[in-house]
Structure 1
Amino acid sequence: MKKQIIKDLKKRKLNLVNDNRFFILKSLIKNSNLKNPVRWSASLKASDLSKTNFKHKIVKRCVLTGRKSKIHNNYRFSRLMFLRLVRNGCVSGLKKSTW
């Protein structure tokens, strides 16, 4: 699991770098005031960016266990670890409800 977490962190860092670059190239492509050769070269550079570094390739993983399913959005823990932490009282402001 640790290997997958490290791999995911590398993908996130590459995505951050390439996301800004892709945004600039996309704005150059859509700008109709520029000449066509500039726009074409921008579109070629945008297509050359690696396809593995986009947002849809990033997987949300639990910080503690590395599970990729059922992740709580606010805390970045899996469902099982979140319940375990709440029961132990590690998350402030939350407690397990009883009926």
Structure 2
Amino acid sequence: MKKRIHKDIKIRRLFKQYEVKRRLLLGLINDLSIPLEKRLDFISELNRLPRNASKTRIMNRCVLTGRNKSVYRFCKLSRLSLRDLGSKGMIPGLSKKSW
């Protein structure tokens, strides 16, 4: 699990590093007032960026278990971890309904 968490942290760091350049290139590519040849150059420059610098590569992961499915954004916990901590009374304001 730790390997997945570290890989996700690495991808997030890479995204943060290239975010401004990627947004600038995308804005220039979508600008129709720029000639087509120049926009094609911007597209090839965008393709040279690392794939992991894309936002779609980032996954929400549980901070305790590293699980990537059914992660709640407000607490960054998976449903299993949330239920576990909620039944132990570790999360304030979370009441047990019918667990």
TM-score (norm 1): 0.83
Work out whether 1:74 is the aligned partner of 2:74.
yes
Q: Residue 90 of structure 2 aligns with which residue? A: 90
Q: Distance in 1 between matches of 2:58 and 2:34?
A: 33
Moved more, 29-38 or 19-28: 29-38
Q: Residue 60 of structure 2 aligns with which residue? A: 60
Counterpart secondary structure, 1:80: helix
Q: State whether residues 61 and 76 of structure 2, in contact with CA within 8 Å, keep that contact through their aligned partners in structure 1.
A: yes
In structure 2, give the amino acid aligned to 1:81: S
Taking only aligned residues, the RMSD between alpha carbons, in angstroms, comes to: 2.0
Q: Distance in 2 between matches of 1:88 and 1:33?
A: 60
Q: Distance in 2 between matches of 1:72 and 1:34?
A: 42
Query: Percent identity, aligned pairs only?
Result: 32
Q: Distance in 2 between matches of 1:34 and 1:16?
A: 27
Counterpart secondary structure, 2:71: coil
Q: Residue 40 of structure 1 aligns with which residue? A: 40
Q: CA deviation at 1:37?
A: 5.0
Q: Distance in 2 between matches of 1:36 and 1:14?
A: 29
Runs of at least 5 residues in structure 2 that lack an aligned partner in the other structure = none
Runs of at least 5 residues in structure 1 that lack an aligned partner in the other structure = none
